Amino acid sequence: MKKALLFLCQGLEEYEASVFTDALGWTTTYGLEPIQLVTTGFHQKIRCGWNFTIEPERPFDDIDVDDFDALLIPGGMSRTGFYEDAFDERLLSLIRAFDCHNKLIASVCVGALPIAKSGVLKGRTATTYQLSEKRQQQMRELGVRVLQQPLVVDGNIITSTSPATAMEVAFTVVETLTSADNLARIKQGMGFTPMPSLTTASAAPSP
């Protein structure tokens, strides 16, 4: 079974984290190939951008890169302290370790900034929040070729522009870690594609 690590920065945007919990969660109940999701962060409780509080399930010091196939980084907001965690050297080192082993790294919106700051995007293509020239310029100053498109895949790294792209990032992660058939199956179960007649297919689990 594939295993993904969802890193929760203080001040993250809730929706950008929840797409990963939903899409990967559906692989375990309705998909063809399950993906286990583990959450971690630097704090016992994470105060999110819109006032939710969440608790990572595993302490950061217990994380072993060898146990995971992917690292997922939602974006967040400066006013809620996102960059204090996002630019912490411990996270940057974790990103470098995943990249060194060519493991998948996926971000939403400004979740691309710590990936760029780690140095692994130097000379490569990526994107970040489309309405912030400041954040795009930060990426360029870190040696990144910033593209003006919703989602950019450069080798093992996925970046995107905004919360609107978050679910597509999560779907791309599912397909990359498993298969197009697995993605099609969970999209069907989640209602993103038409459901066949229940006389010819098993019913989806109750929400």
CATH, residue 155: 3.40.50.880
- The reply to whether 112 falls in a domain is yes
Q: Centre a 10 Å sphere on the Cβ of residue 74 and count the other Cβ atoms it contains.
A: 29
Asked if residue 154 lies in contact with residue 125, where contact means CB atoms within 8 angstroms, the answer is yes
Partnered with residue 71 across adjacent β-strands are 5, 105
- The reply to whether 124 falls in a domain is yes
- The reply to whether 21 falls in a domain is yes
Q: Do strands 2-7 and 70-73 pair parallel, antiparallel, or not at all (unpaired)?
A: parallel
- The reply to whether 199 falls in a domain is no
- The reply to whether 203 falls in a domain is no
Please determine, for residue 196, whether its predicted confidence score (pLDDT) is greater than 90. no
pTM flag (> 0.75): yes
What is the average pLDDT across 41-69? 96
pLDDT, tens only, 124-148: 999 999 998 999 999 999 999 999 9
The confidence score (pLDDT) of residue 200 equals 46
* Residue range(s) defining the domain that contains residue 100: 2-190
At residue 179, what is the residue type? S
- The reply to whether 90 falls in a domain is yes
Count CA within 13 A, CB hemisphere, residue 48. Answer: 18
- The reply to whether 55 falls in a domain is yes
- The reply to whether 200 falls in a domain is no
Total count of domains within the chain: 1
